[in-house]
Structure formats: structure tokens, C-alpha cells
Chains A and B, each alone.
Chain A
Amino acid sequence: MSPRAAASFMARHRTGLSVIGLSLALVPVPLILTNPWKLGILNLIAIHAIVALGLNLFVGYAGQISLGHAAFFGLGAYGSAILTTAFAIPPLLAAALTAAGVALTAFVIGLPALRLTGHYLAMATLGFNIVVHNILVQWDRVTGGPSGLSGIPPLAVFGLAFRDEVRQYYLLWGAAMVFLTLSLNLVRSGVGRGLAALAEDEVSAAAMGVDVRRGKIAVFTVSAVFASVGGSLFAHYMGTVTPDTFGIFASIDFVIMVVIGGLGSLWGSLGGAAFITVLPYFLGPLEDSKEIIHGLIVVAVLLILPRGFLAGIADLAKSRLARGRSAMRSPTA
């Protein structure tokens, strides 16, 4: 391949090559980072990243808001937990059945809820989260009540169980890379442009032939399925689930991951998920005021880097470069 052809190949497949590059970089990590506790944190990041990616499609691209995605995350986790422990359904099938159920739930909720926008939509999704959380706490016989469910088996494929942290690491990050690829594909399609268009101006988007209502419901359902899969992976990874993981503060944390990573920046969502997942371990005695600190960080990011951390820094670098270049071109200016 000539250098020129290589350059054009790189340019055309920039996104795909970036995902492959990141995946390759992730492969040797368990060899270097052998501490299972630290590996466990990385595994949680992968799970949160999957939820954040889905939420970013809904919030960052389609311009909607959800303060209820922890409910879909929780439904995914409990769905897998109940199906595997009470009905002895194989984990992979349980996760798939749960995702289908969550998709249907999101679709039915979305039909009325997505007629709302802004604060009203935020309240509706928040209300949904509170309802789901209450059910998880109160419906003792099925959900195990406040103490939750335990004894959830790990995921197994062809008899190979993802039992230890290292195997889980490859499973979870493999899944995260798949969902990253799917999301990147979606936003680079006509469907993705339609979502970005309806986020900016619904009337104008409809005049271009975008079915605004269908688009919103579809992306809401998709993002709920991402959260559900994340929840299933979480349940099989942890082996136990309790309701307090799926409260409204968890929903808010997912939104914070998306916002600090950058609305509409899928790569940023990975960073946002990593940051918010790791942060509590550095807070130490301040951990009890975690919510306040998360809130302050969001305010700071929105004030200083409104497009999010990664995109914001990229912007700063770009404008520095541009300024440098124009200074070179016109030294008198």
C-alpha cells in the first residue's frame, strides 16, 4: 500500500481504527494490573460505560433528558437475577429475555412520556425511577426486598464461566467495546443525523422527512436496552443485587457521566464513566458527601468546559493551535 493510499485508508476508517486501537490497549491491562480489587474498579467502569453510552445517545444526541436510567439498569440486573436464580434460566438467555422485556417497558413508558420535554420529561423519568425502586424494595417475595437477591451465577458461554476478575474484565470490556462500536455506527448514519436534527429543531427536522416521534421513542428504547444489558452484566458480575444501587442518585450519576464526558461525545462517555466510578475511592472521608461533590463537579464543568471534559480540552487545544497558526501567518497582528 502506498503511503497515500494508507493515509486515505486511515482517514476513511478513523473511527474503526480508534476502537481497535483502544481495544488493543485494553488487552494487556490485567497482566500489568494484577490487583483484583483495582481490576474490579475497571470492571465497574466498563459496566457504567455501557449505560452512559446509551444515555448519551438519548441525552447528548437526541437532546432529551432522563433521570430514570438507573431504573432500566436495575430492571436489567433484577431481571437477570430473578430468571437465573428462581427459574434456572442460563445467564445469557436471561440477559436477552430481560433486555427484550426492558425494551418493551421503555417503549410503553416512552409513548406518553416522550410527548414531554425538558423539566417535565426529567420529572416523568425521575418518577418512573422512584416507582421501580419502590417495587424493588417492597415486592419482597420476588425481589428479596431491601436485602436483595444473591447467588446469581456468572455469565457462561459454551460452558466457560466468567468467574474471576480477569475473565470478567475481558467479558465486560469486550461488551463495552461492542456497545461503543454500535453507538459510533448509529451516530454516523442517517438515523443518527435525524436524532441530532430533532434535538436542534423538531419542526425543521420533520420538514426534512425525519419522523420525530418515532425517532425519540426508538432512541429511548435503545438507550434503555443498553442500560438493561449493563444491569444484567452487573448482576452476573457482582453475584448479588440490592435496591439501593438503582435509586435516583444512580440515575443522576449516569447523567453526570454523560455531561462531564461531553454531551454527544461517545468517547467522552467512557471518560465520564471512568471518572465518576473512580472518584468515590479518592474521596475518602468525604464519601458521605459524594452527591454534593458530584454536583459541584458538574457545575464546574458546565461553567468552564460546557461541551464536556474531553471535547472541551480538545477545543482548547484546537483554538490554541489555530491561534498559533494565524500568528505565524500574520506576525504583525
Chain B
Amino acid sequence: MATVAPNGIILEASGLTKHFGGVPALHDVGFVARKGQVTALIGPNGAGKTTFINCLTGLLRPDKGSMVFDGQELFGLSPHRIARLGIARTFQNLGLFPRLSVLDNVLCGLSTQAGDSLLEAFLRTPSLRHRERRLRLAALEALDTFGLADRAEWPAGALSYGEKKHLELARAFVSGPRLLLLDEPVAGLNPDETERVGTLIRQMRRTGATLIIVEHDMDLVMSVSDHVVVLDGGRRIAGGAPEDVRRNPLVLEAYLGKISVTA
């Protein structure tokens, strides 16, 4: 498998187009994520951000375009194949398994390392026991990092909303993914909780993780990102360093409308 140099391109999408009926959700979008960096994807509601993430993770099949991850074309791959390449994600509306324990939720994040041989599972071979013990330790460590260690045996459904958001981060991060997609990680959180998630994101970046963040919260985006891409109406309208994007008139217009720019 091709290895990516530090700050090399790990994901490159080009000409990505997806229409729902006649409505363009994405139109000819290009996007680049670099290794070890945080790339933010922003834009007003309906800009196509979640559609973009869903295309990348195989939930939606784009009409055309290409998405190359570390030399591998993702177009047409099913979601579990894409996950097995080392792309983890969180969901805007939470994708937890509410009746499983918090610990089991995190262990599910390690599915690709747990093995899928039925025979081995039935016989509970020594190597499987050994691996299970190792995965359990990794999961407990992730729970500790994300502040949920004392909730390990709770059913995930019993957590507070903020804790659930943390659990999703832990579950996505635990496998040490080569690319981590966070779909609105602080949506619905209060400023304190948002600040804590921001800290966690910076912490993940320090460990060398590559992240793509879809987010509405501008303060968070500006404080954690290396690079910002702006979508509006399914089109890419700007991209660059956070401070450049913040001053870009097209971006201001997309967010605030024309009048505020001229006023």
C-alpha cells in the first residue's frame, strides 16, 4: 500500500457530483485532505456537506467523480469496505448502539481488528481470547481519554447527549483510523461541552490523526482547522487557511446574504 509523506495528500476528491432528482446536492466538487491535518468543511444548511461525507463513506453513490484515498479509488465501494481501509466516521444524528454497553460500543469501533471468522468465534481460540483482551484494553483506554471510563458498563442509551457525542468520538478514534470524518461533532452542545470537544480534536491531531470536520460552529472551525473548504448550494466556493476564508467575501455572502456584505 502506498505510504503518504507527512502533509502529503491522503484523500483527493475531484469532480464529485450528486443529484437528488433534479436537485444538485454536490456539483463538481474538488476536495483535498492532507495527512496529519484538520480539514474543515463548512457551508450553510443544505450546502451538501453531509452528502459529501456520505459519498466518501459509501452510504451514497455519487453520480460521477472520483475519490482517491491513499492511492485507492473509493467510488463504488460498500461502506464496510471503506471502513476497513481505515476511514472512521461519526454521525450528525448519532449512530450509537443504544442498548449495547458503552464499552461494547467502543469495541464495535474496533470491528475491523476483531476478525470475522465464525469458526474462530465459535471455538473461542486462544488467539481470539488474546486479541479480545487487547481490544478491551484499547477500548478502556479510549474511554479514559474521552472521559467516559466510569460509564463503561452503562447502556449507551442512558448517557446524556454530551456524553453520547463523546462516545461517538471515542468509538471512531479508538481504531487509530487513517482518516477520521466528524459530522457536526458539537451540534447541540453547550459552549463548555463544545470547548471540551475542541480540546479533544486538538489532542487527536497532536497524536498524528488526519481529520475532516463538518461543522457549523465557526469558532470551533477557526480554532482547530489547518485548512477550510466552503460549500454553498452543492458547489465549492472557497478554500484556504481559516483566516483567509473568514475574510473571503463569497463566504460572507453565502453565510450572511448579500446585504450584510454591502452594508
Contact = CB atoms under 8 A, between A and B. Distances in A.
B100 A197 contact: yes
B185 interface: no
A141 B99 CA distance: 50
A60 to B, nearest CB: 11
A150 B108 CA distance: 49
Contacts of B203: none
A211 to B, nearest CB: 5
B115 interface: yes
Contacts of B118: 186, 191, 218, 222
A201 B114 contact: no
A206 B117 CA distance: 17
Contacts of B99: 200
Contacts of B78: 206
Interface residues of B, number: 39
Interface in A152-210: 182, 185-186, 188-194, 196-197, 200-201, 203-210
A211 B80 CA distance: 6
B178 to A, nearest CB: 13
B113 to A, nearest CB: 8
B106 to A, nearest CB: 10
A201 B97 contact: yes
A201 B95 contact: yes
Given A191-B116, A194-B108, A204-B91, A209 B121 contact: no
Nearest to A222: B118
A196 B97 contact: yes
A204 B95 contact: yes
Contacts of B100: 193, 196-197, 200
Interface string B219-237: 0000000000000000000
A185 B125 CA distance: 10
Interface in B95-135: 95-100, 104, 107-118, 120-124, 128, 132, 135
Interface string B62-103: 000000000000000011100110001101000111111000
A212 interface: yes
Nearest to A15: B124
Contacts of A212: 80
B57 interface: yes
Interface string A204-244: 11111111101000100010000000000000000000000
Interface string A272-291: 00000000000000000000
Nearest to A212: B80
A50 B35 CA distance: 51
Nearest to B79: A206
Given A208-B108, A209-B80, A203 B122 contact: no
Contacts of A200: 97-100
B32 interface: no
B59 interface: yes
Most buried by B among A191, A209, A210, A218: A209
A212 B97 CA distance: 15
B104 A196 contact: yes
Nearest to A219: B118
Given A185-B121, A206-B80, A193 B111 contact: yes
A187 to B, nearest CB: 9
A211 B116 contact: yes
21 contacts: A185-B123, A189-B114, A189-B120, A190-B111, A190-B113, A191-B116, A196-B97, A197-B97, A197-B100, A197-B108, A201-B95, A203-B95, A204-B97, A205-B97, A205-B111, A206-B78, A207-B89, A208-B111, A209-B112, A210-B80, A211-B116
Closest 5 CB pairs of A and B: A190-B114, A204-B95, A189-B121, A209-B83, A206-B79
Given A189-B128, A218-B118, 15 more contacts: A185-B122, A188-B132, A190-B107, A190-B111, A190-B116, A190-B121, A193-B104, A193-B114, A194-B116, A196-B100, A205-B97, A206-B83, A207-B59, A208-B112, A208-B171
